């Protein structure tokens, strides 16, 4: 089954990699998407699953504060992280993560290769190696990636996760290229 032209390779990417319009005010590095990274994935024949934007789903486009863009990025990210950790929002994040896992289980049941997950470092929600906390960039996962990792573990799905930064194009492309080769 599925013996046609499809590559049967899939990668999951943070929502804002494909849609910069979704991120918090004052933080977009591109008009629409991280074009170089998307082009790299396309040239390597990898299907792209866009993860939901957890902050948009829980806090809205203005992240519950129309003046958020007036704060330093790390301060604003830390404020957002604190909001994302509320019981109400972690319930939403768990549901979103469960939906992602359902998709992955379906692809895996037909022997598709899931290359990995690409998050956005420093993000309060989608950071992989780093996140924002206490007004600083610190080691650790964002709130959504942490919950997604737990849901993957519950389903016995091992998944490589890397983080990139939209303001570090060359390093990001190298990291994703390495992920694609493994």
Mean pLDDT of 129-154: 98
Q: Kindly state whether residue 30 falls inside one of the protein's structural domains.
A: yes
User: Given pLDDT bands bounded at 50, 70 and 90, which one contains residue 3?
Assistant: confident
Residues 48 and 41: their CA atoms lie apart, in Å, by 8
Q: Kindly state whether residue 3 falls inside one of the protein's structural domains.
A: no
Residue 1 has pLDDT above 90, yes or no: no
Q: Kindly state whether residue 2 falls inside one of the protein's structural domains.
A: no
Mean pLDDT of 160-180: 96
Q: Kindly state whether residue 165 falls inside one of the protein's structural domains.
A: yes
pLDDT exceeding 70 applies to what percent of the chain?
Answer: 100
Q: Phi and psi (nearest 5°) for 123? A: -65, 140
Residue 26 has pLDDT above 90, yes or no: no
Q: Kindly state whether residue 110 falls inside one of the protein's structural domains.
A: yes
Q: What is the pLDDT of residues 97-125, one digit of tens each?
A: 999 999 999 999 999 999 999 999 999 99
Q: What is the pLDDT of residues 122-137, one digit of tens each?
A: 999 999 999 999 999 9
Number of domains in the chain: 1
Q: Kindly state whether residue 43 falls inside one of the protein's structural domains.
A: yes
Residues 170 and 160: their CA atoms lie apart, in Å, by 20
Q: Whole-number mean pLDDT of the chain? A: 96
* C-alpha pair distances (Å), 170 with each of 1, 14, 39, 126: 38, 18, 13, 20
Q: Kindly state whether residue 1 falls inside one of the protein's structural domains.
A: no
Residue 182 has pLDDT above 90, yes or no: no
Q: Kindly state whether residue 102 falls inside one of the protein's structural domains.
A: yes
Per-residue model confidence (pLDDT) at position 8: 97
- What residue numbers bound the domain in which 74 lies? 9-181
- Describe the crossing of helices 143-154 and 87-109 by its angle, rounded to 10 degrees: 50
Q: What is the pLDDT of residues 42-95, one digit of tens each?
A: 999 999 999 999 999 999 999 999 998 999 999 999 999 999 999 999 999 999
Q: How do strand 136-139 and strand 130-133 relate by DSSP bridges?
A: antiparallel
């Amino acid at each position: 089954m599925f013996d046609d032209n499809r590559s049967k390779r899939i990668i999951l990417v943070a929502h804002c990699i494909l849609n910069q319009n979704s991120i918090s005010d004052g933080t977009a590095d591109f008009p629409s998407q991280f074009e170089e990274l998307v082009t790299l994935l396309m040239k390597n024949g990898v299907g792209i699953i866009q993860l939901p934007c957890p902050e948009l789903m829980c806090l809205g486009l203005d992240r519950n504060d129309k003046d958020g863009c007036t704060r330093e990025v790390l301060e604003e990210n830390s404020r957002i992280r604190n909001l994302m950790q509320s019981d109400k929002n972690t319930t939403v994040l768990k549901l979103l993560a469960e939906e992602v896992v359902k998709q992955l289980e379906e692809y895996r049941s037909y022997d598709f290769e899931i290359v990995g997950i690409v998050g956005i470092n420093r993000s309060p929600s989608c950071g992989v190696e780093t996140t924002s906390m206490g007004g600083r960039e610190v080691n650790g996962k964002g709130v959504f990636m942490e919950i997604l990792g737990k849901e993957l573990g519950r389903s016995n799905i091992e998944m490589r996760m890397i983080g990139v930064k939209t303001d570090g194009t060359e390093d990001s492309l190298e990291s994703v290229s390495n992920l694609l080769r493994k």
